[in-house]
Amino acid sequence: MRLKASDSVVEVARGGGFFAYVRDNMLCSAYGETAEEALENLEGVVDDFVSDMYTLEEFV
């Protein structure tokens, strides 16, 4: 899933690297050595989160 720039925030991590998260859901967050890597990792986290939500919906 491709995120729009307005959907996410990227911050410099205190120990080095970058921390990215979705504005409306702090559970979706990721770390990377570069800002681009953090955003790529975040997209993977969001994909997993959405997949898990669909799986959970099937059981309800």
Task: Give per-residue pLDDT as tens, 26-53.
Answer: 889 999 999 999 999 999 999 998 888 7
State the number of CA atoms in the 13 A half-sphere of 15 facing the CB.
2
Name the DSSP class of 12.
E
In which domain, by residue range, is 17 found? 5-59
Per-residue confidence (pLDDT) for residue 59, from 0 to 100? 61
State the number of CA atoms in the 13 A half-sphere of 9 facing the CB.
11
Question: What is the domain count for the chain?
Answer: 1
